Amino acid sequence: MNVPTMADMMAQGKQPKVLFWVGAAGSYDDRAKKISRAFVKILHQAKVDFAVLGTEESSTGDAAKRAGNEFLFQMQAMMNIEVLNGYEVKKIVTCDPHSFNTLKNEYPSLGGKYEVFHHTQFIQNLISEGRLTLDDTTLKGKRVTFHDPCYLGRANDVYESPRELIKRLGVNLTEMKRHKSTALCCGAGGAQMFKDAEKGDKEINVLRTEDALETKPNIIATGCPYCNTMMTDGIKFKEKEAEVVVKDIAELIAEANNL
Amino acid sequence: MQYLPNIIFALALALGLSFFTMNIRKLLRNIKLGKDVNRTDKKPERLKNMLMIALGQSKMVKRPFSGFLHIIVYLGFIIINIEVVEIIIDGLFGTHRIFQGLLGDGLYGFLIGVFEVLAALVFVAVVLFWLRRNVSNIKRFLSKEMKGWPKNDGNYILYIEMVLMTLFLVMNATDVSFQQAGIGNTISQFIAPLFDGFSPEGLHTIERTCWWIHILGILVFLNYLYYSKHLHILLAFPNTYFANLNPKGQFTNLESVTTEVKLMMDPDADPYATPPEGAEDAVPEKFGASDVADLNWVQLLNAYTCTECGRCTSSCPANLTGKELSPRKIMMDTRDRLEEVGRNIDANKGVFVDDGKQLLNDYISPEELWACTSCNACVEECPVNIDPLSIIMDMRRYLVMEESAAPQELNMMMTNIENNGAPWQYNQQDRLNWAKEE
Ligand code: SF4
Ligand code: SF4
């Protein structure tokens, strides 16, 4: 798969229009890597002039910040900003709502001002510019429910672009009882992904999976690699792997378009 | 002697108002114990928020049943204040229903008629509220933090409202000339027959008694506010005005940290250089919050404004899955501690004397703080724009940056970020491997 890096581009004297910020999950986590690849396939299909930082990318510091380590966060942020500004990056797209939120909202006051898109927003723009069409036949008739990632939805009020894309796939979009601004967290945010939950009587991802299962879906659509992991684990816990799959919207689009 | 009631009334009024003013000043002083934060930008947007959310109750109605009942009680409260103005004038000058002459029978009758209907509706709404709190098993009214005072407080207010509304209606019902005029007695005309057998003097005594208890009750209610979650009827307005306007996911970048990080990253910085003038006697900055004075004044205002409705807690994923965390408790603890600090200052002639306690550990446990997913559900739900998450985050910052007391797994995650640029233990050189697989 051809994924150009900013360094390569620079060596060839090129300045790509947009940087794809892959994020730690999208780079290392086996499940999330598939989302990164699906998204790159979409970028290729729409002939988007993009590049990644590759080995020059580092953690945005989101998890450190939400764990309370403002020092580590700001060190990461300033290092990243130095690299990004060095390449004169203007536009960034990412499949990770946590990177999205941090780059968009928390980097500006530290000197990193970019136009930041979540991949669902970016794909929606490609469609409205006529650079991409979604095949609405492949997945036709499937029941899909969308789990709003907290850092995309409540944190940044992005509720519509993921739904718009899902609807364009010709599927049957059903809403969970808690959705949009009242959606329940998958349990991974605020650095919870990296530690065991406190003592309680249930895991959050199981409760959220129950919300999703109530809609009797074939597919649980996600827009965040961490939500994806949490919901996948929830489905395993409920032993529903045979009936329900968890897929990122980028994966659904790549699948529909036969990429 | 004929002025005696007027004098007693004036004294009661002055006493009630000055006690109230004293408490409000205490409240302002306590809020000012918080750190400064600038919330004076974007005035039109702030005003709009206040009008929509505090005045227009736009977030209350997201839960339609309680939202609707709340609006009735709220309207009742606002409009009946006009009646209170009349009572105060009558009380001070010994007049009787002064507005009737001033406004004319038509308008006065209409107004009082509306008040009576509202009073009756408020009574019904309050009874329903009481049933919800005490009879139906609504989980958020049964939480641990709602035992004792918070539960009683909620009920006391409902009782006071019931009594005040009853007094108002009975007062009108036993006001013979008012009933005879037949203007505005929409509800009280049905109560009046209950007193049919009473002598004119008897009726007059009842009417006067109701009048007195009604106005004294209102003064007591006013002064009860400070001690109660019902302070929100006043503070909802400033609280929504000064609320955070940034995207909910945007957390503050601590400036004190920025300065240090810049120094650390600047290769030209001379660590032994003489600090800029004035810096040497600056108090070393404490990172994060362990007590109320480390929070900012908006967070403290939040604590006083909290209505203990529990909407936040009932939408908190940690709480829903049985963890210790309850965002409502975070707000109640913050207020309790702030009050304790305030009493300490009062007892020590205006200065705080260390009492060996703080918000962290003595009120809020690290276990509660670590259970938060930072999902913002509590912030979204709060009908008066309180931000419990910001307090949780500031306290986590203290735990991590001042006490290095993060859970072990989080320490590992942070070490990985520091060494490998990712929360997991992978080599940064492998960061693009995903592109070569498949
Ligand atoms: S932000 Fe934290 S306290 Fe608030 S609802 Fe989410 S998990 Fe609960
Ligand atoms: S913080 Fe807001 S939602 Fe939570 S109990 Fe207080 S007023 Fe209700």
In this predicted model, what pLDDT tens digit does every residue of B158-206 receive, in sequence order? 999 999 999 999 999 999 999 999 899 999 999 999 999 899 999 999 9
A133 close to B (CB below 8 A): no
Which residue's CA is the nearest one to ligand 2's atom 2? B382
- Whether pLDDT at B272 is above 90: no
Give the CATH architecture of domain A6-127: 3-Layer(aba) Sandwich (3.40)
In this predicted model, what pLDDT tens digit does every residue of B20-75 receive, in sequence order? 999 999 999 999 999 999 999 999 999 999 999 999 999 998 999 999 999 999 98
Average pLDDT, chain B: 92
Nearest Cα of chain B lies from the Cα of A14 at a distance, in angstroms, of 20
pLDDT of residue B3: 84
In this predicted model, what pLDDT tens digit does every residue of A143-160 receive, in sequence order? 999 999 999 999 999 999
pLDDT of residue A48: 98
- Whether pLDDT at B267 is above 80: no
Would the CB atoms of A52 and B432 count as touching at under 8 Å?
yes
Chain A residues within 8 A of B417 when measuring between CB atoms = 59, 61, 63-64, 72, 76
Q: What is the mean pLDDT of residues A5-23?
A: 96
Handedness of CA B180, B186, B190, B195 (dihedral sign): negative
Q: What is the mean pLDDT of residues A192-209?
A: 96
DSSP string, B261-329: HHHHH-TT--TTSPPPTTGGGSPPPPPS-SSGGGSBHHHHHHHHH-----HHHHH-HHHHTT-S--HHH
What residues have CB less than 8 Å from A18, skipping those under 6 apart?
A: A48, A49, A50, A91, A92, A93, A122
Give the HSE-up count for residue B173: Cα atoms under 13 Å, Cβ half-sphere: 20
Q: How far is CA B220 from CA B216, B217, B227, B257, in A?
A: 6, 5, 11, 48
Chain A residues within 8 A of B400 when measuring between CB atoms = 67-69
pLDDT of residue B259: 87
B365: left (phi over 0), alpha (psi -120 to 50) or beta: beta
Q: What is the length of chain A?
A: 259
In this predicted model, what pLDDT tens digit does every residue of A227-248 receive, in sequence order? 999 999 999 999 999 999 999 9
What residues have CB less than 8 Å from B316, skipping those under 6 apart?
A: B325, B326, B327, B377, B378
- Whether pLDDT at A8 is above 80: yes
Task: Domain ranges for chain A, please list them.
Answer: 6-127, 134-257
Would the CB atoms of A204 and B317 count as touching at under 8 Å?
yes
Chain A residues within 8 A of B288 when measuring between CB atoms = 68, 70
In this predicted model, what pLDDT tens digit does every residue of B115-163 receive, in sequence order? 999 999 999 999 999 999 998 888 888 888 888 899 999 999 999 999 9
Decide if A235 contacts A246 (C-beta within 8 A): yes
pLDDT of residue A249: 98
CA dist A72 and B289 (Å) reads 18
Instruction: With cut-offs at 50, 70 and 90, classify the pLDDT of residue B81.
Output: confident
pLDDT of residue B283: 56
Same fold, A6-127 and A134-257: yes
Q: Quick one: closest CA in B to A151, which residue?
A: B249
What residues have CB less than 8 Å from B372, skipping those under 6 apart?
A: A190, B318, B325, B389, B392, B396
B67 close to A (CB below 8 A): no
A151 close to B (CB below 8 A): yes
Is A134-257 CATH 3.30.1480?
Answer: no
Which residue's CA is the nearest one to ligand 2's atom 3? B382
Q: In this structure, which ligand is nearest to the CA of B306?
A: 2
Nearest to B249 among A52, A155, A192 (CB): A155
pTM above 0.90, yes or no: yes
Nearest atom, ligand 2, residue B305 CA: 7
Any ligand 1 atom below 6 A from CB of B323 = no
Decide if A139 contacts A257 (C-beta within 8 A): no
Chain A residues within 8 A of B385 when measuring between CB atoms = none
Instruction: With cut-offs at 50, 70 and 90, classify the pLDDT of residue B277.
Output: low
- Residue type at A186 in one-letter notation: C
- Find residues 312-331 of chain B whose CB sits inside 8 Å of chain A: 315, 317-318, 320-325
Any ligand 1 atom below 6 A from CB of B376 = yes
Instruction: With cut-offs at 50, 70 and 90, classify the pLDDT of residue B278.
Output: low
CA dist B79 and B74 (Å) reads 9
In this predicted model, what pLDDT tens digit does every residue of A94-140 receive, in sequence order? 999 999 999 999 999 999 999 999 999 999 999 999 999 999 999 99
Count contacts between A and B (CB, < 8 Å): 226
Tokens of A114: 């970019």
Q: Quick one: closest CA in B to A67, which residue?
A: B396
C-alpha closest to that of A121 among A90, A145, A92: A92
pLDDT of residue A174: 97
Q: What is the predicted ipTM?
A: 0.95
Decide if B301 contacts B237 (C-beta within 8 A): no
- Whether pLDDT at B269 is above 70: no
Q: What is the mean pLDDT of residues B313-338?
A: 97
Q: What is the mean pLDDT of residues B248-274?
A: 82
